[in-house]
Amino acid sequence: MPRPFSTRRRSRPNTTKTKKPSLPKELMEVSIYSVGAKGDGLGRDDTGHDFFVPYTVEGDVVKVRVTDKRQDAYIGEVKEIITPSTHRIEAPCPHYTKCGGCNLQHMDEHYYHEWKTHKVIDIIRRSGIIHEMEPAFFGKPSARRRASFAVMKKGKKIIFGFNARSSHRIEEIGNCLLLTPELNALITPLRELLPKIMKQEGRGDIIINFPLESSDIVFSLPGRLEFKAHEHLMAFVEKHNVGRVSWRENGRGEPDTIAQHCAVTTEFSGSSIELPPAPFLQPSKEGEQALVDFALSALNGEKKVLDLYAGCGSFTFALATKSIVHAVESNGAALKALELSAGRAGIGGRITTEVRDLDRQPLMGKELAKYDAVLFDPPRAGAREQAEALAESDIKLIIAISCNPATFGRDAAALLNGGYELEKIMPVDQFTWSDHVEVAAIFRRP
């Protein structure tokens, strides 16, 4: 007797692959009624089915192909714009929708500004915080002084550009509208350099900063740096007036400086800072200034200020123009740069430093009691432990800077529960045309 087909199927090993939902094959007409927190249009078809449709805006009516399903909503890919929204404009970049960097270029400026402001309002409301916003800071194109490029080598082919959205595909670009001219000027020379230095297949990245007058490049590529490649890099530094080039062996570990033409510096509040490789800097000089101005506007004669998550000192030097500052940060190289630069600038007496992991060892009780004000500017994960310790302190003034409104909401709620009052909150947009937005806020203990 032949074995039934179904028995054979059941005896197969059970793979862990999740079953793809069955999706409609035909194109669907969707009306977009809003834009969600990740920048995707939220839409509905005439049967009442919900859709997420990237690259659409409120008021669009579009024909979409269904590509996936998330919770109960379909994900739609625009095939045709049946009726464009009055908020829709022509996206200025030829790489738009192919490069993962900017997903909101199709919104007119007014809608875009409103959307970013409301994104902050909506997110912090989820943490129970309702507060009027200060007018937001909006950055401009051609201002980003830092870029992280993706690289892939397969066979002899090398692809160099920006990652596509939610994908490993790399979109090759020649010019990015967001970057400063100095960063754009390095794209073609880097593309020409890569075949000479990237010998092993695989993926990597190249981080470029142009803080002020010279560039800082860190290569994180598969494989070791060969002698010949080293020579090519030295020649590249000379020819393109690059400040410094560093290499992370096999793309891991601390960057090793292999060629340096001049010091890589920036300026914080009139002091020159010599920066370590791949330093953290605010994405644009204008954004940095807006944040610094916001922070300084809160100070009023405070003698001792704590700068937590200080990095290389974007805020430290500004705070030191008014107060004595203690800067705390987990990255030793960044803090060393800060300390040496403060000494050279003749303000070493106004700035002290401490390398410390603030997640594991937040400043608490008596340590906090020494200060009149605190500024904290944590990474995206926020400052849960430190915020909880601050909430129990008697410090009069707390300035919070955050690149993630969600973790800001959580940390702000801890401060409010501890009796602080929110005085001011400002959305900050240094990531033009993306769905990313930052926040700055001032809290006081009444």
User: Which residues lie near ligand SAM (CB under 6 A)?
Assistant: 280-282, 309-311, 314-315, 329-331, 334, 357-359, 377-379, 403
Nearest CB to ligand SAM, comparing residues 180 and 316: 316
The answer for residues whose C-beta is within 8 angstroms of residue 173's C-beta and 6 or more apart is 95, 99, 161, 162, 187
Helix locations, 150-226, DSSP H: 181-184, 187-197
Integer Cα distance of 173 and 99 in angstroms: 8
Integer Cα distance of 212 and 200 in angstroms: 33
Q: Which residue is nearest to ligand SAM (CB)?
A: 311
Q: Is 403 a catalytic residue?
A: yes
Instruction: Write down the residue that tokens 């490789």 correspond to.
Output: 277
Nearest CB to ligand SAM, comparing residues 184 and 314: 314
For residue 277, how many other CB atoms are within 10 A of its CB? 21
For the annotated binding site for S-adenosyl-L-methionine, the residues are 282, 309, 329, 377
Integer Cα distance of 376 and 268 in angstroms: 17
Going by their DSSP bridges, the two strands 421-429 and 137-138 should be labelled as parallel
Nearest CB to ligand SAM, comparing residues 32 and 358: 358
Q: Which of 320, 311, 234 is nearest to 278 (CA)?
A: 311
Q: Which of 147, 63, 33 is nearest to 99 (CA)?
A: 147
What minimum distance in Å lies between the beta carbon of 246 and ligand SAM? 17
Amino acid at site 255 = P
3-state SS record for 120-134:
HHHHHHHCCCCCCCC
* DSSP-assigned states of every residue in 223-277: S---HHHHHHHHHHHHHTT-SEEEEEGGG-SSPEEEEESS--EEEETTEEEEPPS
Nearest CB to ligand SAM, comparing residues 281 and 422: 281
Q: Among 93, 99, 312, 403, which one carries the catalytic annotation? A: 403
Integer Cα distance of 304 and 282 in angstroms: 24
Give, for 344, the enclosing helix (H) or strand (E): helix 332-344
Amino acid at site 393 = S
What are the backbone dihedrals phi and psi of residue 7, each rounded to the nearest 5 degrees, phi first?
-65, -45
What minimum distance in Å lies between the beta carbon of 139 and ligand SAM? 15
Integer Cα distance of 241 and 300 in angstroms: 43
Q: Which two structure tokens, joined as six digits, stand for 112?
A: 């875009």
Nearest CB to ligand SAM, comparing residues 152 and 275: 275
Nearest CB to ligand SAM, comparing residues 294 and 315: 315
Nearest CB to ligand SAM, comparing residues 64 and 281: 281
For the annotated binding site, the residues are 282, 309, 329, 377
Q: For residue 39, count CB atoms less than 10 angstroms from its CB and return exposed for 0-12, middle for 13-18, buried for 19 or more.
A: buried
Q: Which of 273, 270, 269, 282 is nearest to 342 (CA)?
A: 273
What minimum distance in Å lies between the beta carbon of 376 and ligand SAM? 9
Do residues 412 and 127 touch, judged by C-beta distance below 8 A?
yes
Q: Which two structure tokens, joined as six digits, stand for 402?
A: 């955050």
List the catalytic residues: 403
